[in-house]
Structure 1
Amino acid sequence: MPKSNHFDFNLLRVFLSVYKTHSYSQSAEVLDLTPSAVSHAIKRLNAQLSETLFQRTNIGVEPTFVAHDFYKQIAIPYMDIEQSLSSYEKFDPYESKRTFRVLVPDIYMSAFVARLDKENDTNCQIICIAPPAEDEQIYDLLMSGEVDLALDYVLPSLAGINSEIIYEEEICCVARKNHPRVKLPLRFEDYMAESHVKLNLRRWNNRAADTLAKRALPQRKTHSEHNSLYSMIHTLASSDALGICPKRLAQDLQKTLPIDILPVPFEINNITVWLHWPKKISNNPANKWLRDIVRKAWVEG
């Protein structure tokens, strides 16, 4: 417990930054302080708590067991207070130099970043980050405030997250240009006769076509298996295999790759793209602005 009733809550902001960066100098840059001021603040907090929160190492500082426990207790309540206060603040993206972080699935990253750069003519920076593999990690990043938004194709079952559908992604079939056997209209039997480049969907533990098809598909001949759509489509461009992918991505890559875009010859579901953010910052002016510009870049790009 703090020794004094006159506790300086600014110390918590410094503690949280050092805990995340493991560095007094990096925290000093983030907080617009000097490294010595950060060090002094941590010493004051140590004295207030009668505990040691960080141990120096060759590359920075490491949180102690006490620091890990303290972080678990204060991180979310502190973020709740900070977000509640920020909802009353005015926000002007042309005057602010704030940096926002948005999780964007790898399959959409390249094209979306380009569209977002065109839409954002303000002083604010928007950094797109590939999401971690596990759903829980994605939602932890949102709830802790380490990222501001998440674009995803999975709807979370978490009460603290707001979600909206931002786009319905149409699926198409892709073949190399001048494929010797594939022509319009692509018939189902012709599709099944070819070998297939398959995309593994780690979030669904399955392959894309099998997951999205409205009815179970017969066994298909496998040409190759991929974890990346870009690798998959580059392989399609240089082989006689077939594959499926989001149509807008195929259209973007068609500008530089010798590929044809064909209708999928069986009933298939679209990919639903969701926009997620913490409920507690729904009325935050900065987050509302960010959601608006992300929607515009996605839909109009």
Structure 2
Amino acid sequence: MNDELNHKLATLDLNLLRVFCVVCQQSSITRAAEQLALTQSSVSNAIHRLKTALDCELFIRVGRGIEPTASGLHIFNSVQPMLDAIEQTLRGISEFDPHTSTRVFTIYANESVIDLLQPLLDEALASLSVRVVLRNSPVLESEQYQDLQMQKVDLVIDIVPPKVKTFSFQKIAQEKIVCVVRDQHPQITQQLSREQYFAAEHIMYRFHRDNMRVADIISNEPLPERTLYCEQSSLLSMLSLISKSDAIAIAPYAFTKNYAELFKLNIIELPFDTRPIELFSIWPSKHAQDKSCIWLRQTIETLMEQAYSA
């Protein structure tokens, strides 16, 4: 290593590496600036200074975004784990008391989870100073992970675990899926044959994840095409429509049983082999030792166990 490079490394501003890693994660100068609470010009200048110090290209433009070069990716993969370890250490030192803290946590979850969790959460937090806000998950999976990375949200509850080490996860519940019909249905009462199921018209609930439908997620076998009556993105609207028609649908058991009497519905076992839907809590790996985040994860895990064992 020559003297000039030695000098550059000895005087390198290590804050440049943090900015660089955030740009890598966001694939965008604009989003990185937002996360870091800096101007776009400040972020661009930091990347230019690091490029000059290391004497190599760090990013290339791809479409409307940017991606790290091979050298940039090598630096990111080496540096980011060290930055995460430092942040974990510092977060682990900070004390957290839910009785005195006024922090507001935000959690992304789907409609069914929010409906079950909110009453239990209200009761659990009644004597505490902290607040937890439940919000519907974004349609796009990438958006929920981006918001988690940028700390716009503290925890995500989802049916699909993350695929990258940047995020950690834990299974916290599983949900049985059942068939739902109105209680005055002319053909279907307390039992449902396979022939009746596939002959019926279906109200379909679409998960906002790769356009998947619930039946195809839970079935242990390929399913024939079903006749579509209508499609819904709200479970509550779906149950309301079932009560007014001869169409049938499948829905989460824990959610549906709370509305079966109100909408005059029958809950019936599905006539094909299925598996439950699993629910995971997901958080940034760098927050693993953050005491406030540990409290949040443990609280939600306990409440989810109550919600899905009742």
What range describes the TM-score normalised by the shorter chain of this pair? 0.7 to 0.9
Among residues 245, 251, 255, which one is paired with 2:257 in the alignment? 251
Q: In the TM superposition, what is the alpha-carbon distance from 1:185 to its structure 2 partner?
A: 2.2
- Partner Cα distance (1:67, 1:177) in 2: 63
Correspondence for 1:7: none
Structure 2 residue runs of 5 or longer lacking an equivalent are: 1-18, 20-32, 51-79
Matches within 5 A, 1:213-224: 213-224=219-230
- Partner Cα distance (2:171, 2:294) in 1: 16
For the pair 1:167 / 2:173, whether they are aligned, the reply is yes
Correspondence for 1:109: 114
- Partner Cα distance (2:235, 2:46) in 1: 38
- Partner Cα distance (1:137, 1:71) in 2: 26
Percent identical pairs in the alignment equals: 26
- Partner Cα distance (2:246, 2:134) in 1: 34
Structure 1 residues 265 and 107: CA distance shift in structure 2, 3 A = same
Q: In the TM superposition, what is the alpha-carbon distance from 1:224 to its structure 2 partner?
A: 0.8
Among residues 145, 148, 169, which one is paired with 1:142 in the alignment? 148
Correspondence for 1:210: 216
Q: In the TM superposition, what is the alpha-carbon distance from 1:258 to its structure 2 partner?
A: 1.5
Q: In the TM superposition, what is the alpha-carbon distance from 1:293 to its structure 2 partner?
A: 0.9
Correspondence for 1:41: none
Correspondence for 1:201: 207
Q: What SS does structure 2 have at the residue aligned with 1:256?
A: helix
Correspondence for 1:283: 289
Correspondence for 1:86: 91
CA contact (8 A) 1:176 1:259 kept: yes
TM-score, reference length from structure 1 = 0.73
In the alignment, residue 262 of structure 2 is paired with which amino acid?
Answer: T
Q: What SS does structure 2 have at the residue aligned with 1:201?
A: coil
Q: In the TM superposition, what is the alpha-carbon distance from 1:83 to its structure 2 partner?
A: 5.3
Structure 1 residues 212 and 157: CA distance shift in structure 2, 3 A = same
CA contact (8 A) 2:88 2:288 kept: no
Q: How many residues align?
A: 254
For the pair 1:124 / 2:135, whether they are aligned, the reply is no
Structure 1 residue runs of 5 or longer lacking an equivalent are: 1-11, 13-18, 22-26, 28-52, 54-62
CA contact (8 A) 1:84 1:281 kept: no
Structure 1 residues 147 and 83: CA distance shift in structure 2, 3 A = farther
Correspondence for 2:41: 66
Correspondence for 1:242: 248
Correspondence for 2:30: none
- Partner Cα distance (1:281, 1:102) in 2: 15
In the alignment, residue 241 of structure 1 is paired with which amino acid?
Answer: A
Among residues 267, 272, 294, which one is paired with 2:273 in the alignment? 267
Q: What SS does structure 1 have at the residue aligned with 2:262?
A: coil
For the pair 1:176 / 2:191, whether they are aligned, the reply is no
- Partner Cα distance (2:95, 2:292) in 1: 8
CA contact (8 A) 1:79 1:145 kept: no
TM-score, reference length from structure 2 = 0.71
Q: In the TM superposition, what is the alpha-carbon distance from 1:255 to its structure 2 partner?
A: 4.4
For the pair 1:300 / 2:306, whether they are aligned, the reply is yes
CA contact (8 A) 1:120 1:293 kept: no
Q: In the TM superposition, what is the alpha-carbon distance from 1:210 to its structure 2 partner?
A: 2.5
- Partner Cα distance (1:71, 1:84) in 2: 25
For the pair 1:188 / 2:198, whether they are aligned, the reply is no
Structure 1 residues 178 and 161: CA distance shift in structure 2, 3 A = same
Structure 1 residues 255 and 299: CA distance shift in structure 2, 3 A = farther
Superimposed CA distance per residue, residues 181-227 of structure 1 (whole angstroms, 9 cap, x where no aligned partner): 11222111122222111122230323221232111222222211122
- Partner Cα distance (1:185, 1:218) in 2: 20
Among residues 111, 133, 140, which one is paired with 2:139 in the alignment? 133
For the pair 1:158 / 2:167, whether they are aligned, the reply is no
Structure 1 residues 20 and 253: CA distance shift in structure 2, 3 A = farther
CA contact (8 A) 2:88 2:289 kept: no
Q: What SS does structure 2 have at the residue aligned with 1:298?
A: helix
- Partner Cα distance (1:83, 1:71) in 2: 24
Structure 1 residues 157 and 282: CA distance shift in structure 2, 3 A = same
Structure 1 residues 257 and 152: CA distance shift in structure 2, 3 A = same
Q: What SS does structure 2 have at the residue aligned with 1:206?
A: coil
Q: In the TM superposition, what is the alpha-carbon distance from 1:228 to its structure 2 partner?
A: 2.1
In the alignment, residue 266 of structure 1 is paired with which amino acid?
Answer: F
Q: What SS does structure 1 have at the residue aligned with 2:263?
A: coil
CA contact (8 A) 1:111 1:252 kept: no
Correspondence for 2:239: 233
- Partner Cα distance (1:82, 1:280) in 2: 6
In the alignment, residue 112 of structure 1 is paired with which amino acid?
Answer: L
Superimposed CA distance per residue, residues 52-72 of structure 1 (whole angstroms, 9 cap, x where no aligned partner): x7xxxxxxxxx5x41554799
Q: In the TM superposition, what is the alpha-carbon distance from 1:148 to its structure 2 partner?
A: 1.2
In the alignment, residue 258 of structure 1 is paired with which amino acid?
Answer: K
